[in-house]
């Protein structure tokens, strides 16, 4: 027998929170921990409460590895909203129920306001009053925007009597903290997820194969395409737009459009895939958004869980389309303005959201003038033209979304419209041929017919277990060969 020498200090460092390396799905530490997690999870297959407790504890540890001791905020939101929903269910008076749901809004939005908007609002107030504001040292907990919105959907649904409140706080803690979607979505509705909690654990061959396909797809988008074009091209352009010609800036904008899609939809794919391996179903969060022929269609395909949340809990609460056309257009602008602010405490996000709100209002107005019906889609060249216009409008908005500084956005636009210099394009392709090859591949995959993706998914499902394992190993090997630096954190971790 050979003695086993374990370096416990090294093990402690690996398992402890490291603010410079938060745990993400594409990291090595997560893959090893998830493998061990799955062994225990399978052993607890028939022990419902023990399995729910185990997953909840693992989810809290996952959040600790992402945000350190701020996991207590997750616990605070969970306990408050669970108790408020219980109280609300026992309360008959309409105004008392309104008071309780308002209290839930206060707790969740109050946390967001403090951690996310204190410095922004302080700066705005100071500038209006002619004073100076020294930013406070406030750490933004990862995923706070996601789990607060998720918990709010539960208390609002209980208030509206769309669902009955849970009676077991462990089940609610499981729902709020479920690690696949905890830190960057999708925002899972209580009405969709809670009925699955106490169901017998069952993962069919189709679920397992689809889960593997989504994990592979998400890892490819994130670690192969998004990270590579970001580090090797996009960041350079956006950091110093005046150093580059207009054609380089335009290619940088196209690159960022692909980067943010591959980054965020890659995370969503992996979250949905991991959930499937655990026996849970999440709704689709991205549906090839750059295929959209209008801005309205874009928001039906992009970050579907957030856009539907804003529609159901904000737009409809403001009156939706029930109070005349002008109010409908105003409600759309207000909803997207607040949606932009949800992404971050910065004027660039406010501007981004407002642009989208105005575009949605103008599109609704155009639909009303031309008499087109809701959901009616264009075809042929008319659709191609609509896709091109919509894509470039979205790219224009991405400039303000990506740049923290307004001047940088204006510099980038000035370079594109006044210093384009198309003759540099061949040199650009030659110097960054790997980046452009990946961009071309990414856009080609994005615009392929859905039937092709479904056929690829069925192919993975039909593979034997060994084939799936070999496919996973091959992709991980490719990731290791491609990466020029450490895997980048997901973009939506900052929101």
pLDDT reported for residue 2: 46
Catalytic residue, candidates 281, 343, 356, 363: 343
Nearest to 192 by CA among 52, 55, 308: 308
pLDDT reported for residue 21: 65
d(CA 76, CA 219): 32
CB contact at 8 A, 227 and 249: no
d(CA 484, CA 482): 6
Q: Which DSSP category does 220 fall into?
A: I
pLDDT reported for residue 261: 94
The pTM score is 0.89
Q: 111-133: string of b/e by CB count within 10 Å (b at 16+)?
A: bbeebbbebbeebeeeeeeeeee
d(CA 458, CA 441): 21
Q: What are phi and psi of 345, to 5 degrees?
A: -85, 80
Q: Which long-range contacts (CB under 8 A, 24 or more apart) does 33-36 make?
A: 34/274
pLDDT reported for residue 289: 94
Whose tokens are 């946390």? That residue is 111
d(CA 460, CA 274): 15
pLDDT reported for residue 13: 60
For 199, counting Cβ atoms within 10 Å of its Cβ (0-12 exposed, 13-18 middle, 19+ buried), the class is exposed
Identify whether 343 is a catalytic site residue.
yes
Domain ranges of the chain: 21-197, 205-293+377-494
pLDDT reported for residue 1: 45
Tokens of 197: 């909690």
d(CA 169, CA 454): 39
Average pLDDT per consecutive 10 residues, the chain (495 residues; last block may be shorter): 53 65 70 85 88 92 84 91 92 87 92 84 79 76 85 92 91 91 81 89 89 91 89 91 92 95 91 92 91 93 91 88 86 92 85 94 87 73 91 95 89 92 89 92 92 91 88 81 61 58
SS (H, E, C) 417-471: HHCCCHHHHHHHHHHCHHHHHHHHHHHHHHHCCHHHHHHHHHHHHHCCHHHHHHH
């Amino acid at each position: 027998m050979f003695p086993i020498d374990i370096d416990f200090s090294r093990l402690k460092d690996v398992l402890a929170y490291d603010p410079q390396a938060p745990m993400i799905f594409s990291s090595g530490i997560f893959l090893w921990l998830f493998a061990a997690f799955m062994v225990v999870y399978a052993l607890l297959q028939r022990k419902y409460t023990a399995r729910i407790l185990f997953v909840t504890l693992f989810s809290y540890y996952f959040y600790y590895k992402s945000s350190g001791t701020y996991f207590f905020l997750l616990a605070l939101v969970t306990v408050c909203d669970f108790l408020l929903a219980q109280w609300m269910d026992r309360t008959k008076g309409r105004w008392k129920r309104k008071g309780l749901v308002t209290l839930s809004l206060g707790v969740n939005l109050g946390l967001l306001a403090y951690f996310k908007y204190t410095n922004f609002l302080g700066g705005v107030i100071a500038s209006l009053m002619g004073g100076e504001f020294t930013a406070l040292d406030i750490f933004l907990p990862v995923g706070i925007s996601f789990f607060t919105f998720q918990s709010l959907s539960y208390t609002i649904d209980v208030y509206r009597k769309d669902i009955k409140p849970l009676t077991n706080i462990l089940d609610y803690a499981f729902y709020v903290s479920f690690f696949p979607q905890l830190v960057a979505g999708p925002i899972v509705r209580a009405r969709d997820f809670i009925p699955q909690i106490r169901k017998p654990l069952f993962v069919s061959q189709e679920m397992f194969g689809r889960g593997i396909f989504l994990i592979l797809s998400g890892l490819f988008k994130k670690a192969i395409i998004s990270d590579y074009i970001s580090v090797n091209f996009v960041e350079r352009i956006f950091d110093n737009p005046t150093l580059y010609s207009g054609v380089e800036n335009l290619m940088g904008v196209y690159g960022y459009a692909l980067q943010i899609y591959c980054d965020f939809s890659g995370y969503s794919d992996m979250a949905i895939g991991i959930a499937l391996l655990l026996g849970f179903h999440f709704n689709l969060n991205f549906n090839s958004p750059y295929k959209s022929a209008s801005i309205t269609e874009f928001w039906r395909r992009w970050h579907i869980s957030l856009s539907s949340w804003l529609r159901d809990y904000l737009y409809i609460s403001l009156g939706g389309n029930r109070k005349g056309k002008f109010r409908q257009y105003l409600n759309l602008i207000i909803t997207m303005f607040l949606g932009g602010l949800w992404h971050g405490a910065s004027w660039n996000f406010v501007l981004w959201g407002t642009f989208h709100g105005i575009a949605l209002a103008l599109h609704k107005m155009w639909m009303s003038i031309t008499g087109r019906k809701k959901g009616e889609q264009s075809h042929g060249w008319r659709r191609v033209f609509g896709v091109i216009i919509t894509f470039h409008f979205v790219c224009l908005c991405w400039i303000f979304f990506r740049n923290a500084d307004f001047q940088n956005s204006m510099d980038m636009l000035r370079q594109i419209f006044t210093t384009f210099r198309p003759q540099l394009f061949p040199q650009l392709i030659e110097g960054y041929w790997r980046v452009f090859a990946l961009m071309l591949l990414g856009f080609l995959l994005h615009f392929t017919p859905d039937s092709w993706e479904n056929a690829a998914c069925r192919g993975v499902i039909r593979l034997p277990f060994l084939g799936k394992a070999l496919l996973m190993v091959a992709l991980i090997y490719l990731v290791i060969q491609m990466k020029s630096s450490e895997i980048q954190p997901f973009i939506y971790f900052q929101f």
